[in-house]
Each structure stands twice: as structure tokens, then as C-alpha cells.
């Protein structure tokens, strides 16, 4: 930290600043979700997933549920990465049993039909109201995380029309017409900056950028469509909000994580399940705070194996700047009592 900078009090913010935390901070991706019975009750009343995201009091409630139950060190706003294309005017629907379905954009004509990125915040006002409510209702020791999808990952849904195992539609457009595809990325960089900025103005203290499909790109494409856009977002955000902590999650980036961490300049790097904690300690933790990376299916299994592998992560990474998390999000079949057991283990572990 810069000389004269006041040290943050919240445990997660201290870890991101690289200062002593007196225990490892903990939160989990998708900590508010279908594994919790109280979430399922609210979801049933909401009348649709986007309705839940766009109803501030309901989004606040489901964000608070895991905080009340487990006492995580951070709450992450309940929303979705696809509210950005929705705000840009692309048709987005969440269908039971199918997940998100979008009207695909595959060419310049489709790009021209999108709304101005500068106007996304008008559509997403209810999201920022939820952030404002949370900034008032969260316990004083709990950090509030805002988030967005990285341009590449959001683009894969916008171009493919749904989730894809190989992101073929977006990759083929990027390979065949890279300059035209770059226009979509530029739109998403601007829209993402506006969306995250509005969350910070509403009370978010940290932002996380999710690049779920970063690892599907070969090196040169990774540099252009995963690394550079997140670097641009980080620079634009920190020009507006000096000192704002930014965490990135380039899932599947592997050895490219080293360049990504260094060149994007993000404050923290979230690790997927496939990253060796020892490798991360050697190659990444010297550059800043790392976050991760227990296999979510260990949380489903529970028991001694979950505890053994969680302790391995803690003992390997817990002496440096570190936030305990999963290597991806909590899955719906996770027993809530296993989450409680893991929380207790991490909270009782000491450096």
C-alpha cells in the first residue's frame, strides 16, 4: 500500500491490500443459490430469474441469506453476467432446464442494433438499488462485492445464443473477422466499465470480473480477447476510483495466469480448481492476493476428503495474501451442512 494510506478494517479488503488479516477471509462463488432452501422459496415467489435480479428487495434478501447462515467475510451481489447484454437490447431469457437463451448476434448488423453502452445503467437501475440496500443492511465487518462478466465470456453467450462446451460460434467469428469481433469487445468493455462503476457508486467495495471461458482461447487470442479487455476495464475503473480492488477470474488460463496477473494489473486473481496451490504460491502470490480454489464437488462430498484438501490449500497459500474460495461456483446439489463444516474449518485455521 502507498505510504499514508489508511489500512482497511474488513478482513477481505485487508487481504487484497496485502496486509495481515488474523485468519483467512472466506466467501464462495454462487454462495447465494439453489442449494439453500431459503433461496428456493424466494426464487419461487419471484416469477422468473431476471425478475429476481431486477427486484431490489428480493436481490438484497437472497444476497443476505448466506451471510446470515454462515457469516462469510464478503457478500457478492445477487445478479447475473447476462444483465449487460439484456441492458444493451439483446433479447435474454432464462428457461427452466435450459439456462440462458439469447437471440444471437453474428455480424455487424447485429452490433449496430445494440443500445449505446453508455445507457446500460438506465436499464439496470434496480440492480444498483439492490447494491445500495445491501450497503446499508450488511454487517459492518462484511465486504460487498460487485461483479460483471468479462467481455470474452459475455460475448460467447451473445454470439452463440446460449452456453456452449467449445464457444465455437464466438471463436469462429473472432478468427474469421477479428476486427469486426473487436467492435463487440469494445462495446462490452465500455458497458462493463459503466456497470461496475454504477455498482461502486452504489456501495460496492470490491469488484470481480468473471471470465469463465478464458481458458478456451489459444495464446494470441487469449492476449487480445481475454487479457487486454480486462486490463482496459481495470485501468478505466481505477482512473475513476483510485485504489478500488479488482479481482479477476480467468478460468482455465493455466500458465497464462502469470502474464494475465502481471499485465492486467488486477488486485487479486481467483484460481480455478486445476491450479496447483504450490504453483500458485511460487508464480502468482508474489504478485498479489490469490483466491480459491477448492473443487466444488468436494463440497458436495464433504467428509474427510473435503477437509484434507481444504487444509492443503490453507497450508500452502494461507501464509501469504489469500482469500479462501472455490475453484468455481457452489453447485445446486451441495448439502448446506457441508458448507457450514467448511466455513468452520477455515474460520478456525490460523496462520
Contact 144, 63 (CB under 8 A): no
Strand order in the sheet with 143-149: 74-76, 143-149, 206-211, 246-250, 268-270, 289-294, 322-326
Distance of alpha carbon 35 from alpha carbon 302, whole angstroms: 14
For helices 228-240 and 256-264, give the axis angle rounded to 10 degrees: 30
Could you give the 3-state DSSP secondary structure of residue 227? helix
Burial of 201 (0-12, 13-18, 19+ CB in 10 A): middle
Q: Which residues are catalytic?
A: 30, 34, 43, 80, 157
Annotate 23-73 with DSSP letters as a single string.
S--B--TT-SSTTSHHHHHHHHHHTSHHHHHT-HHHHHHHHHHHHHHH--S
Q: Which residue has the cell 481444504?
A: 310
For helices 151-160 and 168-176, give the axis angle rounded to 10 degrees: 100
* Alpha-carbon dihedral angle through residues 159, 164, 170, 176, given to the nearest 10 degrees: -130
Distance of alpha carbon 328 from alpha carbon 309, whole angstroms: 15
Amino acid at each position: 500500500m502507498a505510504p499514508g494510506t489508511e489500512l482497511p478494517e474488513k478482513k477481505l479488503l485487508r487481504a487484497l491490500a496485502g496486509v495481515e488479516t488474523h485468519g483467512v477471509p472466506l466467501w464462495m462463488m454462487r454462495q447465494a443459490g439453489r442449494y439453500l432452501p431459503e433461496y428456493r422459496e424466494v426464487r419461487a415467489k419471484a416469477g422468473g430469474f431476471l425478475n429476481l435480479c431486477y427486484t431490489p428487495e428480493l436481490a438484497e434478501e437472497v444476497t443476505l441469506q448466506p451471510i446470515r447462515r454462515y457469516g462469510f467475510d464478503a457478500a457478492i451481489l445477487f445478479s447475473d453476467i447476462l444483465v449487460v447484454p439484456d441492458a444493451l437490447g439483446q433479447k435474454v431469457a432464462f428457461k427452466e432446464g435450459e439456462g440462458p437463451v439469447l437471440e444471437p448476434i453474428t455480424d455487424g448488423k447485429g452490433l449496430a442494433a445494440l443500445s449505446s453502452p453508455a445507457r446500460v445503467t438506465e436499464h439496470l437501475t434496480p440492480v444498483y438499488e439492490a447494491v445500495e440496500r445491501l450497503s446499508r443492511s450488511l454487517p459492518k465487518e462484511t465486504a460487498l462485492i460487485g461483479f460483471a462478466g468479462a467481455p470474452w465470456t459475455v460475448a460467447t453467450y451473445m454470439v452463440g445464443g446460449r452456453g456452449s462446451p467449445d464457444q465455437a460460434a464466438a471463436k469462429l467469428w473472432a478468427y474469421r473477422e477479428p476486427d469486426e469481433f473487436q467492435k463487440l469487445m469494445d462495446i462490452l468493455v465500455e458497458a462493463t466499465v459503466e456497470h461496475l462503476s454504477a455498482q461502486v457508486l452504489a456501495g460496492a467495495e470490491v469488484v470481480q470480473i468473471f471470465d469463465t471461458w478464458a481458458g478456451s482461447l489459444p495464446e494470441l487470442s487469449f492476449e487480445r480477447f481475454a487479457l487486454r479487455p480486462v486490463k482496459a476495464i481495470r485501468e478505466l475503473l481505477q482512473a475513476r476510483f483510485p485504489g478500488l480492488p479488482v479481482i479477476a477470474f480467468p478460468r482455465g488460463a493455466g500458465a497464462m495466469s502469470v502474464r494475465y496477473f502481471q499485465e492486467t494489473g488486477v488486485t487479486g486473481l481467483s484460481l480455478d480448481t486445476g491450479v496447483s496451490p504450490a504453483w500458485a504460491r511460487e508464480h502468482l502470490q508474489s504478485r498479489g492476493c490469490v483466491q480459491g480454489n477448492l473443487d466444488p464437488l468436494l463440497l458436495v462430498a464433504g467428509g474427510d476428503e473435503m477437509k484434507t484438501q481444504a487444509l492443503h490449500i490453507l497450508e500452502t497459500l494461507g501464509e501469504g495474501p489469500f482469500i479462501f474460495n472455490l475453484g468455481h461456483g457452489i453447485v445446486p446439489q451441495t448439502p448446506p451442512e457441508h458448507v457450514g463444516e467448511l466455513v468452520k474449518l477455515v474460520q478456525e485455521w490460523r496462520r
